[in-house]
Amino acid sequence: MIKSKPKVLSWLMTGMLLFAASLAQAADTIKIGVLHSLSGTMAISETTLKDTVLMLIDAQNKKGGLLGKPLEAVVVDPASNWPLFAEKARELLQKDKVAVVFGCWTSVSRKAVLPVFEELNGVLFYPVQYEGEESSKSVFYTGATPNQQAIPAVDYLMKDLEVKRWVLAGTDYVYPRTTNKILEAYLKAKGVKAEDILINYTPFGHSDWQSIVADIKKFGSTGKKTAVVSTINGDANVPFYKELGNQGVSAKDIPVVAFSVGEEELSGIDTKPLVGHLAAWNYFMSIPDKANDAFIKDWHAFIKSDKRVTNDPMEAHYIGFNMWVKAVEKAKTTDPNKVIDAMIGIEAPNLTGGVAKMLPNHHLTKPVYIGEIQADGQFDVVWKTKGLVEGDAWSDYLPGSKDIVADWADPKIKCGNYNSVAKTCSGQSYK
């Protein structure tokens, strides 16, 4: 018995040393939070974004990591539950001590986590098109603003397809409601009468579209060219498009232009009845470019499937991740304040042959594309902007916003909602 004690002590000491070594190793990694729904109504869109971030982390680690340290993903599932997004964000920042978070899809999830990031001085990269009307020190918005998606899409429908009547159909939350408020003001400024605008909202996960599609058909039967501008989000798109096919609503009669339907959403449905309907994005998988070809090849290799598609929010994460890496290298630290300052002016290639630049309002420069749905679930580009469009954080078409500017670089402002007339900042500032 006495002779065995040294062995027991030796095992204990060895165990303690291994535990201490594992703790030291964990502390010697740069943790990256991944805050995307892996279950619930938004999993159809967000699961792929989780995988995208994991791919980007893996690629960076193969290059030697960052600042001499490996990157470590911390993945959580907020389960399409908006209050849970805030809880998981707080957990990532306080418990897991992540250096940055890539996450959210819906604006309601972003709004839920925003106070947490501002309180705890976190950094969030938000990769999805949204309604604008926001600029936070803590957030970098790598998706499109209305002037980079919704407004160009309406211009295309109005000028090229001569649309006269408008159905603004969306999911019932902040992004569709605010975007449609902007579009309604824009359409009326262009001379469209109120009776030629039909607005409809449905809850998340809505599945019974029969009567709504019938109303759309009736609204479009007056002899005036009619189009649907869709801000429907998540898995509700599947029964919506199926019902369009069931009721024979073709793109020739009433085209639909969607802002939240891309290759990933179309991969789960029969697209043949939808050929010719439209989507407006800043990237399509079908755009020929060396960088895009390489990205698609890397994606297929990482996900171990040649059938998996790529889409616009994936490109937004690709751009945002590469910008963050450059900013950390420039700042020589992951300290949030120093990285936030370093991000302004950072440039990174997009996947369509251009270069994205981070603006002082924490938004990007982007091209705008409109694509037609093809039978194989891909898009054929029918229109694009001549150059890059700067993301506008505050709409020029809303009375309360047209005088507001966001500028986190100007030392006289350093604010996300600075009233250029009153010369005051009415929200978060950074000085």
Of all helices (H) and strands (E), which one includes residue 166? strand 165-171
- What tokens were used for 145? 């603003």
The CA distance from 283 to 281, in Å, is 6
Q: Are 36 and 30 in contact (CB under 8 A)?
A: no
The CA distance from 72 to 67, in Å, is 13
Share of the chain above pLDDT 70, in %: 93
416 SS3 class: strand
Confidence band of 429 (pLDDT split at 50, 70, 90): low
The CA distance from 426 to 424, in Å, is 6
The CA distance from 113 to 107, in Å, is 10
Quick count: other Cβ atoms within 10 Å of Cβ 3?
6
Dump pLDDT digits (tens) for 326-385: 999 999 999 999 999 999 999 999 999 999 999 999 999 999 999 999 999 999 999 999
Compute CA 250 distance to the chain's CA centroid, rounded to the nearest angstrom.
Answer: 29
Residue 15 has pLDDT above 70, yes or no: no
Q: What separation in angstroms does the CA of 371 have from each of 5, 38, 255, 385, 418?
A: 74, 28, 12, 12, 36
**Residue 1: what pLDDT?**
41
Quick count: other Cβ atoms within 10 Å of Cβ 221?
12
**Residue 426: what pLDDT?**
83
**Residue 143: what pLDDT?**
97
What torsion, rounded to 10 degrees, do the Cα atoms 317, 323, 329, 334 define? -60
For residue 57, which amino acid is it? Answer: I
Q: Are 319 and 365 in contact (CB under 8 A)?
A: no
Residue 252 has pLDDT above 80, yes or no: yes
For residue 232, which amino acid is it? Answer: I
Dump pLDDT digits (tens) for 34-61: 999 999 999 989 999 999 999 999 999 9
Residue 13 has pLDDT above 60, yes or no: no
Dump pLDDT digits (tens) for 401-415: 999 999 999 999 999
Q: Residues with Cβ < 8 Å from 258, sequence gap 6 or more? A: 230, 232, 237, 277, 278, 279, 280
Q: What is the mean pLDDT of the chain?
A: 92
Q: What is the DSSP string of 246-272?
A: HTT--TTTS-EEESS--HHHHTTS--G
Residue 21 has pLDDT above 50, yes or no: no
Delineate the domains of the chain, giving CATH numbers in brackets. Answer: 29-145+289-368 (3.40.50.2300), 147-286+370-390 (3.40.50.2300)
For the whole model, what pTM was predicted? Answer: 0.89
- What tokens were used for 349? 């290639």
Dump pLDDT digits (tens) for 213-241: 999 999 999 999 999 999 998 888 888 98
